[in-house]
Amino acid sequence: MADKRTTEAEAVAELRDGMTIGIGGWGSRRKPMSIIREILRSPVKDLTVVSYGGPDAGLLCKYGKVKRLIYGFVSLDSIPLEPHFRKERQAGGFEARELDEGMLQWGLYAAALRLPFLPTRAGLGTDVMQINPDLKLVQSPYEDGEELVAVPALELDVAFIHMNRADVKGNGQYLGPDCYFDDLYCMAAKQRFMSCEKIIETSGFLKEGTVHTLRINRTMIDGVIEAPGGAHFTECPPDYGRDEKFQSAYAATAKDPKAWENFKADYLDVTEADYQRKVNER
């Protein structure tokens, strides 16, 4: 069986300007932040980003990497609206496509099933239809003739996710309360990269958790990155919680250009090894 171990740099080297990427996790929870930081260091631009957004969306927008953002929300959880996203959104720094959370899920699911769209009632009678005029309605072919929203497939060039545990083959395990939609991101994408807190033997998965926590299988993954602390500053339970102090400092930089430059120099314009070292020394 193939050994799929790779690095953040090698994964990000697969990106090209204008690609559509999907980012797993949820708000400020189990985001593949070591990969996001590598994207920030790269020259890639004009990305379409699909995310239940958190600091991944905020940082990529702040760095001017995003041409189009497709999202159900962009939140830091304990801080309701991601401040760098807010600032760039208000400045018109990217094209925004705001969807209902369920519509975003349905778009990923349609892509995973290789369907052009899936019908839903979500969005009917709301401003979602007004701010997304390209969304179409379809009529049920059955006797009821109900009119439904046709959510188009969100096909991804590359997906990035972060798991608690993985093996070298590409099987992945979450140990927190929710898998979110990381499996759908992988199934909707042409290339899939998974970072993890720890690579373990395949036989060790059931020592860590139950069968249902093995939501990522090797057919969904092209590369595995061992990245302890790779979700920081988002939470990755039970390995660690959200770094609220660090997150608050990050959020404050949206209102203070000098603080942003200092934060950027200390934590973003550095290697991942230096980032982790500085975080551990705080």
What confidence tens digit (pLDDT) does each residue in 31-43 have?
Answer: 999 999 999 999 9
Give the pLDDT score at 1: 67
How many domains is the chain built from? Answer: 2
Residues 92 and 192 in one domain: yes
Burial of 228 (0-12, 13-18, 19+ CB in 10 A): middle
Give the pLDDT score at 282: 86
Give the pLDDT score at 151: 98
Residues 124 and 259 in one domain: no
Show the domain range for 143.
117-152
| Residue 244 pLDDT exceeds 90 | yes
Residues 268 and 246 in one domain: yes
In a domain, 28, yes or no: yes
- 55: domain CATH number is 3.40.1080.10
Residues 238 and 266 in one domain: yes
Residues 137 and 253 in one domain: no
How far, CA to CA in Å, does 237 sit from each of 85, 179, 266?
A: 25, 12, 26
Rounded to whole angstroms, how far apart are CA atoms 224 and 6? 6
Residues 16 and 147 in one domain: no
In a domain, 227, yes or no: yes
Residues 232 and 132 in one domain: no
Average pLDDT for the chain? 97
Give the pLDDT score at 115: 98
